[in-house]
Amino acid sequence: MRNDSKVYLVGGGIGSLAAAAFLVRDGHLPGANISILEALPVLGGSLDGAGEPAGGYSMRGGRMLTTDNYECTWDLYKSIPSLRHEGQSVFDETVAFNELHRAHSRARLIDRRRAIVPVTSMGFSMRDRVELLKLSRADEDELADRRITDCLSPEFFETNFWYMWSTTFAFQPWHSAVEFKRYLLRFLVEFTRIETLAGVKRTVFNQYDSLVVPLQAWLVARGVRMVTGCTVTELEHATDAGTFVVTGIRCVRKGTAEVIPVRDGDLVFLQNGSMTDASSLGSTTTVPARRTKADASSWGVWEKLAAGRPEFGRPAAFNSCIAQSYWESFTVTLNAPAFFDEMFRLSGNRAGTGGLVSFKDSNWLMSIVLAAQPHFPNQPEDVFVFWGYALFPDRVGNFVPKPMADCTGAEILRELCGHLRFDPESLDGANCIPCRMPFLTSMFMPRVRGDRPQPVPPGSRNFAFVSQFVEIPDDVVFTVEYSIRAAQTAVYQLLGIDRTIPPVTPHAKSLLTKFEALIKAFE
């Protein structure tokens, strides 16, 4: 690339932030030549977290981290300095934090009697074991667009394993069998400890403050331009000698339409699609708005590019069925420790040591997690925050006679207290902010080869995709790792960087891991 070449990253999620970091760190591009274009006033995409004690805190979600996987993530964050501990990287800081707060859940599942479910056994029948083994060995083209329910018997979905695996990773029975198989192999090392979540790692604060803020600070210090309030509507393009070339970026900035020219030698990276697009917040007294694809902004650019170009994927495979891709989360802010104390007495876990607690008989299939406090840098000592979500927000509750999607934050807390059999006084004064997300698990929808484009599509000269909706062999979506691996792959390919991308750790090929998984399957 020329010294005056420009790079434009469309979308301000972790994929674009990581791509900018790889451009600077490994591509040696001047930061001032890189611009990140984001429609929202804040960067970070789905890794969000904001609020204050009086108005309440809110997080749409929180992705699971491990140090046994996430190879590209930690390759990046070993280079990003901690903002809190001089001389440490974000990776160092995260490892040290998890040494102090080791996960070992004592109450992974709770039943309708408020009893802790014994989960040493996965609850498999011999048929379950045979079908799981067959699925794990199946060729992806053979599975094609089959659903998990096409490969496993109905009884499987009542096993302890399914309740734990599905709530840990957010799988639904109708999701992609290919993706489920990839998860089985990618996280085989977690199979033997899924009941304790011992392999799960947490960040010091919420993932926005722990991952996005230090990375953004590092980029800004190197001159990378963060352009917020900029909605990209279309990429102008041409064909030159049989290759696809982006020539301009149509956008709306501060209410004014403009075109950013893309010159010869410039590069464009697009975050195609978003799992948190069109999300909406409610409150303790209001219900989140029911937004649809008409309210989404991230799919349109990809749909225009993919029209008539099969090498650019098929967005319709992922964004056409909100009923099968949406779920709802909620964040609770408390001004007293009563609820946290009650959870400790029930579970035996202090906040930050237990991970998800899932209510297996909940119609909504509700789970909550109490992270180590404080979970926000500006959170006072006498304020407590926890997060929860439900996989079936369209179902009528056990204690509240309506679907979760029609509930206020107060009604969600009433349902939670019903499952826990807690005195509602433990949640007195609670501020509960629910969040509806129409496309949250859209990347899990059944797909066939070609529905997801390559990070750099064949025949593309100056353009790449960076998102959860690109094809990366062996890795799994709905992880921070997938976005960062996509970014690293795209940057290295377009710039011709001669540095090895950290490979996916082949846990499923380890004889020891396979033996331990086999023993676990027969317990």
Q: Please provide the DSSP assignment of 447-480 as one string.
A: --TTSS--SS-TTBSSEEE-STTS--TT--SSSH
Given a contact cutoff of 8 angstroms between Cβ atoms, the answer to whether 59 and 45 are in contact is no
What's residue 223's pLDDT? 98
Q: What is the DSSP string of 158-221?
A: GSHHHHHHHHHHT--TTSBHHHHHHHHHHTHHHHTTTTTTTT-B--SS-HIIIIIHHHHHHHHH
Give 515's contacts (C-beta < 8 A, 6+ positions apart).
Answer: none
Which amino acid is present at 433? I
State the pLDDT confidence band at 293, using cuts at 50, 70 and 90.
very high
The pLDDT assigned to 62 comes to 78
Reported in sequence order, the residue ranges of 13-108 that DSSP labels E, i.e. its strands, are 34-37, 50-52, 56-58
Instruction: Look at residue 503 and tell me whether its pLDDT is greater than 80.
Output: yes
Number of Cβ atoms within 10 Å of the Cβ of 275: 26
Mean predicted confidence (pLDDT) in 268-282: 96
Query: Where do we find the tokens 């794990």?
Result: 136
Confidence of residue 64 (pLDDT cuts 50, 70, 90): confident
Quote the pLDDT of residue 53. Answer: 95
| Banded pLDDT at 7 (limits 50, 70, 90) | very high
Q: What is the mean pLDDT of residues 209-226?
A: 98
For residue 12, what are the contacts with CB-CB under 8 A and spacing of at least 6? 36, 37, 38, 40, 42, 43, 44, 45, 226, 228
**pLDDT tens figures, 304-335:** 999 999 999 999 999 999 999 999 999 999 99
Strand-pair category, 280-281 with 431-437: antiparallel
Residue 2 clears pLDDT 80, i.e. is over it: no
Task: Kindly report the average pLDDT of the chain as a whole number.
Answer: 96
- Give the span between the Cα atoms of 438 and 79, in whole angstroms: 35
Find out whether 52 and 245 touch, Cβ atoms under 8 Å.
no
Q: Taking 80 as the threshold, does the pLDDT of residue 3 lie above it? A: no
Give the DSSP per-residue string, 105-119: -S-SEE-TTSPBPP-
Q: What is the pLDDT of residues 113-140, one digit of tens each?
A: 999 999 989 999 999 999 999 999 999 9
**Per-residue exposure over 283-308, b if at least 16 CB sit within 10 Å of its own CB, e if not:** bbeebbeebeeeebebbebbbbbbee
